[in-house]
Amino acid sequence: MLKIDSHTHILPKKMPNWSEKFGYGDFIYLQHHKRGFAKMMRGNQFFREIEENCWNADLRIDEYETHHTKVQVVCTIPVMFSYWAKPMDTLSLSKYLNDHLARLVEKYPKNYVGLGTLPMQDTELAIQELTRCKKIGLHGIQIGSNINDENLNEERFFPIFEACEKLSMAVMVHPWNMMGEKNMTRYWLPWLVGMPAETARAVCSMIFGGVFERLPKLRVMFAHAGGSFLFTLGRIRHGFECRPDLVAIDNPVDPEKYLGQFWVDSITHDLPMLEYVISKVGSKRVTLGSDYPFPLGDLQIGKFIEESGLPKKTKEDIFVNATLEWLQLPKKRFQ
C-alpha cells in the first residue's frame, strides 16, 4: 500500500546567517559542527541539535523505505517562520526556504511534496508569496497556530485564507510560539501541554471566527490530531450552547458542523485515541503524520496503525486517500 506522510520537516543544509545579513534579530542558523550533525542556533543561543536526516533528501528516502513509506510532505520547522521580523526580511527568508522545497520536489517528484512558508505578518506580501509558491510547484503552505500572538480569526488573515481557497492551496496549521511558554519551562511543558492547547486555539479561532463557514472549500489540516480540540469538544460545544453571548458572537453555527470539513493528522501515539479521532472526523479526514525527524514524533511512521485491527479501508484512507484529497493530488503521480 502506498503511504504518504503528511507531516514532516526539512531544512536546507546551508542557509545564510540571516541575523548578519539583515543586521538584527535572533534568526535561526545552522552550525555544522561535526559530520552528520548541526547545531540550530537562535542568534548566539543554542536551540537544538539536529541530524543529517533533517536536510539530506536521499538519506531521508532511505530511512522512509525502512518504514514502507514512499512519500513525504515536507515543510520547514516552525521556528523558521520568523513572523516577528520585518516583513520584507521574512519574505526573503521564506523565498529561500520555498525555493529549496521547489528544487527538492522537482528532483524527486515521486517522493516529496512541498508546503511553503509565508510572511503572515503582512497580508499583501503573504498573498504575493503564496501565489509564487503555487507557480513554483508547491501544493500548500504551513502556518503557525497564532501569528505573533494574534489568532487566526483576525480579519487581516482572512484574505490569505481566501487566496488559498481560490488558488487551491492546502493549509497546514502547526503549533508554535506556545501560550504560557515562559511560565512552564520545566518538564518540556511547552511541547507537552502548550502545543496541543495551541492547536485547539487555532481550530476554535477558525471555527468561531467563521473562516470555515465563509470558505467552505478551504482545505486545512491541523497537526497532532488537532491538538486538544477533539478531546475537549464536548466542553467546547457545551460552552457554545450555554454561553452563546460569549462564544457564538461571530458565527452562530454549532462547531460540530465543521467536523469532516478540515483534516487532522494521525499523531496520537495511542490507538484508542486515534479511533476516537476517526469516529469524530471520519477516516477520510485523518492523514498519516509523523513529525519526522523529531523525537516527539511517530518515527515509525504509522506502524501502530499498520499493526492495528483497523479495517483495511480505514488504513488506506489514513495512509493515502486523506492526504491526496487534502492536497488535491492524483495517486498516479507517485506510482
| Residue ranges in contact with Zn ion by CB under 5 A | 291
- Quick one: DSSP state of residue 129? H
H helices present in the chain, as ranges: 18-22, 57-65, 87-107, 123-135, 158-167, 189, 195-208, 211-214, 233-242, 244-247, 271-281, 303-306, 312-316, 322-327
Write b or e for each residue in 150-165: b if 16 or more Cβ atoms lie within 10 A of its Cβ, otherwise e.
ebbbeeebbebbebbb
- Residues forming beta bridges with residue 38, ordered by sequence position: 50
Nearer to Zn ion, 63 or 291 (CB): 291
Nearer to Zn ion, 8 or 321 (CB): 8
In the complex, least distance from residue 77 CB atom to Zn ion, rounded to whole angstroms: 8
In the complex, least distance from residue 50 CB atom to Zn ion, rounded to whole angstroms: 13
CA–CA gap between residue 83 and residue 273 (Å, rounded): 33
Q: Could you tell me which of 279, 285, 280, 237 has the C-alpha nearest to residue 261?
A: 285
In the complex, least distance from residue 251 CB atom to Zn ion, rounded to whole angstroms: 28
Q: Could you tell me which of 299, 296, 28 has the C-alpha nearest to residue 174?
A: 296
Q: How far is CA 6 from CA 157, 315, 324, in A?
A: 24, 14, 9
Nearer to Zn ion, 291 or 298 (CB): 291
In the complex, least distance from residue 310 CB atom to Zn ion, rounded to whole angstroms: 23
Nearer to Zn ion, 63 or 89 (CB): 63
All cell numbers assigned to 311 = 479495517
In the complex, least distance from residue 291 CB atom to Zn ion, rounded to whole angstroms: 4
In the complex, least distance from residue 247 CB atom to Zn ion, rounded to whole angstroms: 29
In the complex, least distance from residue 159 CB atom to Zn ion, rounded to whole angstroms: 26
Nearer to Zn ion, 133 or 267 (CB): 267
CA–CA gap between residue 7 and residue 175 (Å, rounded): 12
Nearer to Zn ion, 5 or 291 (CB): 291
In the complex, least distance from residue 27 CB atom to Zn ion, rounded to whole angstroms: 20
Nearer to Zn ion, 144 or 255 (CB): 144
Nearer to Zn ion, 298 or 317 (CB): 298
In the complex, least distance from residue 144 CB atom to Zn ion, rounded to whole angstroms: 11
Q: What is the DSSP string of 28-96?
A: EEEEEEETTEEEEEETTEEEEEEEGGGT-HHHHHHHHHTTT--EEEEE--GGG--TTS-HHHHHHHHHH
CA–CA gap between residue 55 and residue 267 (Å, rounded): 22
For cell 501569528, what's the residue? 147
Report which residue's Cβ sits closest to Zn ion.
291
Q: Are 233 and 276 in contact (CB under 8 A)?
A: no
- Say which residues have a Cβ less than 8 Å from residue 279's Cβ, sequence separation at least 6: none
Nearer to Zn ion, 7 or 280 (CB): 7
